[in-house]
Chain A
Amino acid sequence: QVQLQESGPGLVKPSGTLSLTCDVSGVSISYNNWWSWVRQPPGKGLEWIGEIFHSGTTNYSPSLQGRVTMSVDKSKNQFSLKLSSVTAADTAVYYCGRTGYDNDDKSVARWGQGTLVTVSS
């Protein structure tokens, strides 16, 4: 059973950097699928942040490009998100997930429980 768990500070100061880690269990992070982040501001819809492959290849949302960085740590079977220069608009529940398709063209999509990050002084 694949499980993902987000961790990181729940409160970040404006202009600071939001840093989250996603611990993956039940599958190797070296599996050929994407490792993704989405976020959901309180009471609003889902917003795609970006994705990373185990090789380090990344795709980021153009609206966040320049502020977002993702990385993979194979030794810890985890991946991470950093978002710099945060403002109150970055307050949201952040979800990490496994996305993409397996060799039989079956979706592997699964998301962690999410973690609320509040940007406030």
Chain B
Amino acid sequence: DIVMTQSPLSLPVTPGEPASISCRSSQSLLHSNGYNYLTWYLQKPGQPPQLLIYLGSNRASGVPDRFSGSGSGTDFTLKVSGVEAEDVGVYYCMQDLQTPRTFGPGTKVDIK
């Protein structure tokens, strides 16, 4: 199984300031088709996971452009250019290159 790790696990942020979350996989997520099969989800309190970024760097429909994903192979980053109060919750990375799909442990983002 591909093991996903994230850092930090907790991230207090100041509104308007940037934030960055790292995700690493135990195997490369780069497919021969050129895509990195890495997805980012945000789970707000009491809600299901909502899709933010797919294939490593593609923003999902309706996701504000302050969210961006980057990286390739085994190292990926989610950046928020200026955190807003509505961005609090737990951020998960997930690999969907192969089964079993696996999630990172999650990064809890809250407001300082």
Q: Do A and B come from one complex?
A: yes
For A109, what are the chain B residues with a Cβ–Cβ distance below 8 Å? 39, 41, 51, 54, 60
User: Are B100 and A61 interface neighbours, CB within 8 A?
Assistant: yes
Q: Beyond A45-B106, A105-B55, A107-B58, is A62–B49 a contact (Cβ under 8 Å)?
A: no
User: Are B49 and A47 interface neighbours, CB within 8 A?
Assistant: no
Stretch at the interface among A22-30, A71-79, A110-118: A110-118
For B104, what are the chain A residues with a Cβ–Cβ distance below 8 Å? 45
How many residues does chain A have at the interface if contact means C-beta atoms less than 8 Å apart? Answer: 25
Most buried by B among A36, A46, A110: A46
User: Are B55 and A107 interface neighbours, CB within 8 A?
Assistant: yes
Q: Beyond A59-B100, A107-B39, A107-B58, is A46–B51 a contact (Cβ under 8 Å)?
A: no
30 contacts between A and B (CB under 8 A): A36-B101, A38-B49, A45-B90, A45-B104, A45-B105, A45-B106, A46-B49, A46-B92, A46-B94, A46-B103, A46-B106, A48-B94, A48-B101, A48-B102, A48-B103, A51-B101, A62-B1, A95-B49, A97-B48, A105-B35, A105-B55, A106-B58, A106-B61, A107-B58, A109-B39, A109-B41, A110-B51, A111-B49, A112-B48, A113-B48
